[in-house]
Amino acid sequence: MAFPIQRTFDDLGTPLHEVTFCVLDLETTGATPASCEITEVGAVKYVAGELVGAFDTLVNPDAPIPPTITVLTGITQAMVIDAPRIAEVLPSLLEFIGNAVIVGHNVRFDMAFLNAAAERLGYGKLPNPTSDTLGLARRLLRSEVRRLNLSSLAAHFRSPVTPNHRAMADAQATAHVFWGLLERAGSLGVSHLEDLLRLPTAKGSPHYKKIELTEGLPRRPGVYLFRDRDDNVIYVGKAKNLRTRVRSYFYGDDRRSVAQMLRDLTRIEHRVCNTELEAEVTELRLIHASAPRYNRRSRPPRSPQYVKLTNEEFPRLSIVRRLRDDGCLHLGPFRSRRQANAVVAAIWDAVPIRRCLTKGGRRSPACNFAQLGVALCPCDGTVTNAEYQLVVNQLRYGIETRPDELLEPLVERIRDYARTARFEEAAEMRDRHRALSNAVHDRRSWNVLREAGLLWAEDRSGDSVLVERGRLLASWSGTDQAPLATTAVTAPSPHLVPESVAAAEEARLIWRWLDRPEVRIIETTRPLAMPRHRIPVLSTLAG
């Protein structure tokens, strides 16, 4: 039975034809709210594009109106002497505005005075989003209109109301300019509120016109692919909201790599996914399949690296690139040799496993590691198989059963270094602890998924996933799915670690999703065997 909670997406945005706009203009006694006051308020409110109300009043500023302001606005001291004060006006004005998007020309000026009054009277700053016709005009009309003041824009859009520095007339003219700018913005694909709010921040680069490529993107979770003129995939990304995420690249992202990517971009492809986990896995698979040149950090490595316990008479640790079915213990795969080396160093710090490469014998001298006492090396022939097997068993037991047997020695070293103020060495040991802990955790989670067969899980939002041997088969929202018993299950992988970096990273994503407290397992085709001993957290042990 599914959890009875409907899935929602708060970031899907609101179509502009459903947004309530309140176009606002204030007249004041000066330029700064710290020392000046409001003398007039004018506002017009629109719902679904239709005028639904107007708010117009003079305000007694309880202060002299400078002659320059009277010349500019025509508002005299005599006109405001009987007008209500801002403390009387503000409650009605805030009720009139409600949850509307506040629009103004250089709206920051009006909001500064309005917020100052609201805070002074105990209402706090207004939470309403704002849209500035000046910022929109800079983005949309810079090449057409030389001056972007309200008078010039009103003339450009042939406003029936001429702005005259009176609040209501200026608000009505601003509204007319706003509708004209919305029409221009629509030609760029601006159809939702979040598109409109971000439009003024878009960089004026030659690649901005390519935002038209996003027109067909849905407001749903999924994966997007950028392609160049040769139709090669140059970037793959995931998003909760495809349209919003892709359009964000055109809104002020000044990273050099993004500018280069937009220069090469000629087509955008997308794939809608049912859940966020499906989007993450799909992104991972596409990156590993096409190795896009702008996915620098997540591109697949040339060859994976494994840490292997060899099957020699005196086993040692070796870093190899190929995974063989030889019964040897492995950790990995790792993206780089540096990561593999960190795990090897952590194990060397935890157990005295052999470090030298020589076979040795009775007549051979002890290696440096044996002389320093950091490794039980058989190079001088004094170590018996039985003695050495104890070390090998300790290592296997730590990796396969009790991780704390390997990690506790590292924690003790961290404490020792910290007590003696050797902080750099403590940090290095901490990184080794983390590398080994992560490697053991990944090996464990892989084997749990590998042995579970086909697994059906669901979270509290109603998202369900179907996983087979650590690989995502399907995901959906809802409960009308067939039972798992009707689905065939493939044979498990013979390896106790993933065969590739892609398989390891996919299993890691799935495990992270399954490990959340709001996820429950609905059904599996084989027992889901969780390890008895948990991997200790470094902060808990070191504390």
Return the exposure string of 42-70: e unless at least 16 CB atoms fall within 10 Å of the residue's CB, then b: bbbbbeeeeeeeebebbbbbeeebeeebe
- Domains of the chain and CATH, by start: 15-195 (3.30.420.10), 202-290 (3.40.1440.10), 305-441 (no CATH)
Question: What integer pLDDT is reported at residue 543 of this predicted model?
Answer: 45
- Which of 123-137, 254-268, 341-355 is the least confident region? 254-268
Measure the CA dihedral 114/39/101/92, to 10°. Answer: 90
Please give the positions annotated as active site: 165
- Band the pLDDT of 103: cuts 50, 70, 90: very high
Q: SS3 for 161?
A: coil
Nearest to 418 by CA among 409, 429, 431: 429
Inter-CA distances, 496 with 323, 324, 334, 468, Å:
10, 11, 15, 15
- Structure tokens of 505? 């990273």
Per-residue pLDDT, 192: 83
Phi-psi region of 462 (alpha: psi -120 to 50; beta: other; left: phi over 0): left
Pick from 68-72, 205-209, 292-296, 335-339: least confident = 205-209
Q: Could you tell me if residue 353 is left (phi over 0), alpha (psi between -120 and 50 degrees) or otherwise beta?
A: beta
Q: At a CB cut-off of 8 Å and minimum separation 6, what does 415 contact?
A: 542
Instruction: Indicate if the pLDDT at residue 181 is higher than 90.
Output: yes
| Count of Cβ atoms closer than 10 Å to residue 212 Cβ | 11
Q: What is the pLDDT of residue 364?
A: 76
The neighbour count for residue 247, using CB atoms within 10 Å, is: 24
Residue with tokens 């990690």: 407
Q: pLDDT tens digit string along 354-410?
A: 998 877 666 678 888 988 889 998 888 888 999 999 999 999 999 999 999 999 999
Distance between CA 142 and CA 172 in Å, rounded? 22
Q: What is the dihedral of CA 292, 293, 296, 300, to 10 degrees?
A: 50
What are 517's two structure tokens?
């407290």
Contact assessment for residue 259 and residue 204, using Cβ atoms and an 8 Å cutoff: no
User: Using an 8 Å Cβ cutoff, are 239 and 219 in contact?
Assistant: no
Q: What is the mean pLDDT of residues 51-59?
A: 97
Q: Which helix (H) or strand (E) holds 463?
A: strand 463-468
pLDDT at 3: 33
- 320-362 pLDDT, tens digit per residue, is 999 988 889 999 999 999 999 999 999 999 999 999 887 766 6
Tens digit of pLDDT for each residue in 270-316?
Answer: 999 999 999 999 999 999 999 999 998 888 888 899 999 999 999 99
Answer whether residue 541 shows pLDDT above 80.
Answer: no
Minimum mean pLDDT among 10-14, 476-480, 490-494: which range?
A: 10-14
**What confidence score (pLDDT) does residue 204 get?**
52
- pLDDT at position 361 is 64
Q: Go through 372-395 and write b for each residue having 16 or more CB atoms within 10 A of its CB, e for each that does not.
A: eeebbbbbbeebeeeebeebbebb
Predicted confidence (pLDDT) at residue 487 exceeds the cutoff of 60: no
Confidence of residue 195 (pLDDT cuts 50, 70, 90): confident
What does the block give as tokens for 446? 């892989």
Residue 222 phi, psi (nearest 5): 170, -160
pLDDT tens, 232-251? Answer: 999 999 999 998 899 888 87
* pLDDT at residue 252 greater than cutoff 90: no
| Rounded alpha-carbon distances, angstroms, from residue 322 to 157, 307, 308, 364, 436 | 69, 10, 10, 32, 20
pLDDT at 25: 97
Look up residue 370 and give its amino acid. A
Q: What is the pLDDT of residues 442-481, one digit of tens each?
A: 999 999 999 998 999 999 988 999 999 999 999 988 654 5
The DSSP result for 334-362, as a single string, is ESSHHHHHHHHHHHHHHS--B-------T
pLDDT at residue 202 in the model: 67
10 has pLDDT over 50: no
pLDDT at 248: 84
CB atoms within 10 A of CB 356: 18
Instruction: Please list the residues that pair with 309 across neighbouring strands.
Output: 317, 329
Percent residues over pLDDT 70 in the chain:
92
Pairing of strands 130-132, 101-104: parallel
> Per-residue pLDDT averaged across 160-168, rounded?
96
397-447 confidence digits (pLDDT tens): 999 999 999 999 999 999 999 999 999 999 999 999 999 999 999 999 999
Report the distance separating Cα 57 and Cα 110, nearest Å: 15
164, 216 Cβ separation under 8 angstroms = no
Q: In the predicted model, what is the mean pLDDT of the chain? A: 89
C-alpha dist (Å) from residue 164 to 74, 148, 169, 197: 9, 16, 7, 27
The predicted pLDDT at position 539 comes to 66
